[in-house]
Every structure is written in C-alpha cells, then in structure tokens.
A = this chain, B = another copy of it.
Amino acid sequence: LSAAPESVRAGGMVALIERKKRGGELDEAELRWICDGYLSGEIPDYQVAAWLMAVRWQGMSDAETLALTRALEGTGATLDWGGLERTAVDKHSTGGVGDKTSLILVPLMTAAGAAFVKMSGRGLGHTGGTLDKLESIPGFDVALSLDALRAQVRRIGCALVGQSPELVPGDGALYALRDVTGTVDSLPLIASSIMSKKLAAGAPVIVLDVKFGSGAFMRTIEEARTLAAIMVRIGEGAGRRVRAVLSPMEEPLGCTVGNALEIREVIDTLHGRGPRDLWELVLELGTHLMLLAGLAADEERARSRLGELRDSGAGARCFAELIRAQGGDPRVVEEPERLPSAPRVVALTAPEAGWVARVDARTVGDAALELGAGRRTKSDVLDLSVGIRLLAKTGDRVEAGAPLAELHAARVEDAERAGRALLEAYRVEAEPPPVPSATYEVVG
C-alpha cells in the first residue's frame, strides 16, 4: 500500500476532496493513495464518491489526468513486451454498434509482423463485447493466465483475451462506483480508465478509435476530439507512441450486429468480401499501427501491405492460428456455417421506395438487444446466434417491399417485435442523400 503523503497525514481524505472541489489538483502520490486505499477498503466508498463528483465538477488538467492514469496502472501488475522480436501494438475503441475491427486487425497486424495483445471487455448494451463475439466460436477460451498469455504471444504473436483481473484492479473498482454515482461521464475519468489499461498492457504503440455520433458514447465530434486529445497526451506523457482516429458512428459499422453474425463478417472481411466501411476503418487504424510500429515507411505502403496480407490469405490463416491457440475450432474460418445460427430468419421489408438517408446506429442496437444479442444488466445471458444483418445502408436505393434487413431470431415473435424497432432506425427519402466524407480526422 502507498505510504500516505504529507497532505493526507495532515488532513486525510477530506482535505483532498476539499482541494479538488475548489478546483485544485492532486499529485500522483495523493491519487495513488486514493486508488490503493479504496481498493484495500481503507478509504470508504462515500469519500471516493464525493471525490469522483468533485472531479466530474472541476475536471482535471493533463498533468493530473496522467497522474491518475499512473495511479490506476499502479494498482496491479503490468506487462512488458520488451523481450519480443516484434513490436507490440495495441488499439482501443470507445465502442459502437457493429464494431468488430479488433477481430480483423489482430490477425492482420500479426501477419504484418507486429505482436498484438488485445484485452477486451464484455460491456453492456446493443451486443456483447469482443469477448462475447469470440465466444460464439465453438471452444474459444478468452480467459488466459498472464503466463499463458506471454507464452502464446511469444509463440504466435497475438492473443485476444479478457481484461486480466491482475491488471489495473483499481479501474474496475472505480468504474463500479462511478456507475452508481452519476460520475461516468467525466472526460478525465474516462480517459484515465482507458489509458491505465493500455499502459498496463505494455504495448509501446497504441491506436485509439474514438467514435462520435448517435451510436457512440460521445455524441459530437467536438467531444470525441477532446477525449482523443486527452488520451493521446496521457499516452505520450507515459512515453508511448499514440494516435487517435475520430470515426463516425451514425450507422452501424459493417452490416451485422450480433455476436456470431459479426464473427462471420470478420471472416468475410479477412477473405476480401467484407463491407466497404468496415474495411476502410480497418485500413485506417491498421495504417497508423503500421506507421507507429515502424512496419511501413509511409501511409500508402502501409495500406497496400494490409491489402496484400488480406488478399494473400495471410490474415485469415493468422486468425485460424489464433483460434486454434485459444482452444477454438479453427475450421470456422473456412466454414463459417459452423458458427451458431438462429433458427428464424425474418426479412424486414421497405414500406415504400426511395433512398436510405439514415440507419440510426442506436436504434439498430436497441433492436438487436430486443433479440437477445446484448445485455441490459450484467447478469443477462446472451443468445450468441441472434442479431441483425443490414441489407440496405445509407445511400442505397430500395424499392417498396424489397428487404431492408434480416432479423436472426430465436422465435418469430422476437423477430416481429425487433422488426418494429428496427424499422424506426431507417429513414427512407425521395432524394439520394449527400455522399459522406470518407476521410477520418486523426489526433496525435
């Protein structure tokens, strides 16, 4: 446990709350004392709750946010990939509907010569997190010990696992308290939570996918830009190479929302048959990873290398190897029909002809939740087979009665209920919508 700093010996936790409340700053020793003391039970949760609300109120400078990140990182073990031949890379997405980029990037970047250890969560909401998606692959084990993880990365260069409870236990504890005290939506708390896990995971290269829009936690690009800048400065302050990509989350990423359905789309994409928007974002994030890891000399060469690795099947083979290493059935990569599938597939049809002007990501997510693809509460059990496949997205022409989407459901009633919700996500207009900009804003 951290020794109490002088300020704490003089005034205890109340003095630190008072200082934060008045807009002052805490230093790393003080924040370390709070994080360690909360974990050990020496600082009661009501004092930590008051401090969290004071942080939500007054914010934190870059220096204080970095100090909190370091303090959180220090609550547990940290990984060090310095002994590898490969450069370790990592990425994080702030989350969106249909986001399966990690599952494509991990094998592709490993094929490119990086080491990629991706720790993921389960998450609440629309669909499961990356872990749930992976568990739709028969046999896949996401719970590796740190020793098994290190051995696998030395052997095959990558791993896709759950957040280790040995890393940053303070973050989980603090997040649980934020969740019940109205202090989730604080940028420095969000940034330090994300970055503490990235720092502890040990990769010197980190690319952040910060999403904005109706289906994202950050509703506007301005908020996303602010969060991205904070996280990049934390990472750089901790000596990492970091870049953030701001990506829109107005409509779902790719065409599938639902755990096994998304794994199918990952496999399709690795085979060169994936949806364009998904592949574009993979290329964008992958390019920054390549450049920061020194695996490509410039952007153009990074992009073409990633294309080659896909087209040669190297990425797909790497995914199969990863699945085998973690106990899953690697045949799914060539035979995706081995993934669980829902007994009922019901089409949602367009009530009238026109151009799709919008497919609202959040509403699609809610419809997937109706089908059982996601969790409303932590104890909900997912149906990994159910979900939504979008057949028409923004900019597509549809005729009256033509299918807009497929609902993969356990029961016809579920499909009907979710179909009514999904129809609300679609806006069909008489004129084609403007073509959206295809470039991403990059921070760092």
Contact = CB atoms under 8 A, between A and B. Distances in A.
A47 interface: yes
Interface string A8-34: 000001100110010000000000000
Nearest to A183: B50
Contacts of A56: 21
A227 B17 CA distance: 23
A54 B57 CA distance: 8
Interface stretch (A104-112, A174-182, A363-371): A174-182
B180 A47 contact: yes
A408 to B, nearest CB: 31
Given A21-B56, A56-B21, A57-B57, A182 B50 contact: yes
A52 interface: yes
A49 B378 CA distance: 24
A322 interface: no
A42 to B, nearest CB: 14
Contacts of A180: 13-14, 44, 46-47
A246 interface: no
* Copies of this subunit: 2
Nearest to A52: B50
Which interface class (under 10, 10 to 19, 20 to 34, 35 or more) fits A?
20 to 34
A48 interface: yes
Interface in A94-143: none
A53 interface: yes
A14 to B, nearest CB: 5
A429 to B, nearest CB: 34
B57 A181 contact: no
A45 interface: yes
Contacts of A49: 46-47, 49-50, 53, 181
Contacts of A17: 53, 181-182
Interface string A165-201: 0000000000001011111000000000000000000
Contacts of A47: 49, 180-181
Interface in A58-100: none
Interface string A269-283: 000000000000000
Nearest to A17: B182
Contact of A46 (B18, B21, B46, B57): B46
Contacts of A53: 17, 21, 49-50, 53-54, 57
Contacts of A50: 49-50, 52-53, 181-183
Contact of A181 (B14, B177, B182, B183): B14
A48 B46 CA distance: 8
A244 B17 CA distance: 32
A48 B53 CA distance: 11
A14 B182 CA distance: 6
Contacts of A14: 179-182
B54 A18 contact: no
A208 to B, nearest CB: 26
Contact of A21 (B18, B179, B182): B182
Interface in A310-347: none
Nearest to A16: B182
A153 B50 CA distance: 43
Interface of A: 13-14, 17-18, 21, 44-50, 52-54, 56-57, 177, 179-183
Given A14-B179, A21-B53, 8 more contacts: A45-B46, A46-B49, A46-B177, A46-B180, A50-B52, A50-B53, A50-B183, A53-B53
